[in-house]
Structure 1
Amino acid sequence: DIFVENNDIENFLLALEKDEAIKYKELLEQVSSNKLIDVVQEIVYKANEAFNYKINAKLNLTLLDHLNFAWQRQKNNIIINYPFLDELRFIYPKEYDFSKKALHYLKKKMKPDICFDESELGFLVLHIHAALKNEKVSNVLLNREIVYTCIEFIERKFNEKIDRKTIYYSRFVKHLEYAIHRYKKGIQLQNVLLNSVKDICKNEYYISKELNIILKTKYHIDLDENELGYLTLHIYNLKNRNK
């Protein structure tokens, strides 16, 4: 086992904001299994160790809430699969590796009360990643939706599938995520290669401008020319390295 029993997590829980602590207390009253509460706290404690104490304490709240709801779903034979698990394994390898161990520990400790389905692995990865980046899980899921929307559009323009297990795909995804983050924070980049990119990668630049129309229309995200120039380079690599 990677986990140590009976860790003192009281100081870690104190990191919750006041309103979050209130929500957590309310959630504790709703959860019927003290065992589940203990296991989630242990997972959060070890996640904090594994990721150099960068895990947001809200993971105590969000993960317990998710797993408690997942328990209720499974009692009613409702299984929700995360469809892009292989992609998560490639893009977030550290979160994926930790989540695999966490799921094994969760299933082991919760027997015979319940056996969480393997479909929970993808959601564990997303929760760990959100806590690591200090984001809401809903924002992480939205970013994943935006990525899928963009990739599907690019595939239609290329008229071919993009290999999601290449470093070029990973770079594209991470750049797009950071570009969205910069837009929301009002951070602007200077792209000294912009004019050259426009001239050399004309088709890819046009695709990036079309993508921005989708982002602006559907998600209210409007990337400037500097960001589109960098995005163009990643699209160029996707197209040419995919062959």
Structure 2
Amino acid sequence: MKVHKILNNNVIVTLDKSNNELIIMGRGIAFKKKEGDIIDESLIEKQFSLNNKETLPRFAELLSEIPTEVITVSEIIINHAKSVLGEKLQDSIYISLTDHINFSIERHKQGFDIPNGFLWEIKKLYPKEFKIGEYALQIIKQRLNVELPEDEAGFITFHIINAQLNDTMPNIVTMTKVMREILNIVKYHFKFEYDEESLTYQRFITHLKFFAQRVINGNFSSSEDISLYEIVKEKYHQSYLCTNRIDLHLIQQYAHPLTDDESLYLTIHIERLRKELQHQSELKKA
């Protein structure tokens, strides 16, 4: 293993057997080294190999500027997120989350914490991801002795969602707004309270997450077969009327009329939710 590039005294870029760049970290690993020198592998503390070749140089640059202990904390949080969510996250999270945590700590030390205006929605709409954000605050406190406010758990949650959906941060914020608006329309249309622990509610939230992403990005989902749509429209008429209200709202606010496919799936999810909550209400009265 040879030195390909030296970023600082503790960070080196090398090449693997397939000639792909690897980032190697270790205290003093680049001391008195130059390109082409053999790397002392006993000094290697961390090794990064990102799939995205565009992300790797940016991450390497970030590593040369951010303290090693912050990078370690970010990696712990990302690995925990992957384990909890059971899915692959975009490589971009190594840059966005590490940079965010470092900047948040710097701001906090200067007494400048930023309030998160979407904290309530984040807790309600992304409970699993928000728990990862709370875990992140615990790790930051334990490893870096910095106690960040709960608002930061919300911002970290946005970075996790961003890495799941591979979208931009402003879009994630707008998606959250769209989800909140649709949930309110359904809630007030049927005049019920959600059971946020129910599987049906969680399925609805998951559907809304990807649906809201399509709305924001202007991606329309449609098919030529409208037979099932007509059946659902007639069979689940109450839920279909609610979907119509959502359609009108999306046209007015986002210039996104629902396609038949989108109306179909929204109506089915709303009907499941309506039936479950109606059943619970009847059990309480019995």
- The bucket for the TM-score relative to the shorter chain is 0.7 to 0.9
Q: Secondary structure at the match of 1:9?
A: strand
**Deviation of residue 110 (structure 1)?**
1.0
Match for residue 169 of structure 1? 201
**Deviation of residue 27 (structure 1)?**
8.9
CA–CA separation in structure 2 for the residues paired with 1:226 and 1:147: 18
**Deviation of residue 23 (structure 1)?**
8.1
Match for residue 113 of structure 2? 78
Q: How does 1:31-50 map to 2 (within 5 A)?
A: 33-44=67-78, 47=81
CA 1:50–1:195: 2 relative to 1, 3 Å: closer
CA–CA separation in structure 2 for the residues paired with 1:50 and 1:126: 16
CA–CA separation in structure 2 for the residues paired with 1:140 and 1:55: 15
CA–CA separation in structure 1 for the residues paired with 2:153 and 2:204: 24
Instruction: Answer whether contact 1:16 1:58 (CA < 8 A) is retained.
Output: no
Q: TM-score, normalised by structure 1?
A: 0.75
Match for residue 138 of structure 2? 104
Name which of structure 1's ranges 46-55 and 215-224 shifts more when overlaid on structure 2: 46-55
2:271 pairs with 1:233: no
**Deviation of residue 225 (structure 1)?**
1.7
CA–CA separation in structure 2 for the residues paired with 1:220 and 1:231: 18
Q: Secondary structure at the match of 1:237?
A: helix
Q: How does 1:4-153 map to 2 (within 5 A)?
A: 8-12=46-50, 15-17=52-54, 21-22=57-58, 25=61, 29=65, 33-44=67-78, 47=81, 54-74=88-108, 75-81=110-116, 82-88=119-125, 90=127, 93=128, 95-96=129-130, 98-111=132-145, 114-153=146-185
Q: Secondary structure at the match of 1:119?
A: helix
Give the strand-richer structure, 1 or 2.
Answer: 2
Q: CA RMSD in A?
A: 3.3
Residues 52-92 of structure 1, C-alpha deviations (whole Å, 9 max, x = no match) = 672211112211232234234433253524113542464xx
Match for residue 197 of structure 1? 232
**Deviation of residue 100 (structure 1)?**
4.1
Give the helix-richer structure, 1 or 2.
Answer: 1
Instruction: Answer whether contact 1:9 1:41 (CA < 8 A) is retained.
Output: no
Residues 21-77 of structure 1, C-alpha deviations (whole Å, 9 max, x = no match) = 448737964x5x453234224433565576667221111221123223423443325
Instruction: Answer whether contact 2:196 2:202 (CA < 8 A) is retained.
Output: yes
Gaps of 5+ in 2: 1-25, 27-43, 282-286
**Deviation of residue 132 (structure 1)?**
2.7
Q: How many residues align?
A: 230
Instruction: Answer whether contact 1:62 1:127 (CA < 8 A) is retained.
Output: yes
CA–CA separation in structure 1 for the residues paired with 2:45 and 2:79: 8
Q: Which amino acid aligns with 1:212?
A: D
Match for residue 156 of structure 1? 188
CA–CA separation in structure 2 for the residues paired with 1:98 and 1:16: 27
CA 1:186–1:196: 2 relative to 1, 3 Å: closer
CA–CA separation in structure 1 for the residues paired with 2:159 and 2:96: 8
Q: Which amino acid aligns with 1:25?
A: E
Match for residue 245 of structure 2? 210
Q: TM-score, normalised by structure 2?
A: 0.66
CA 1:43–1:180: 2 relative to 1, 3 Å: closer
Q: Which has the larger radius of gyration?
A: 2
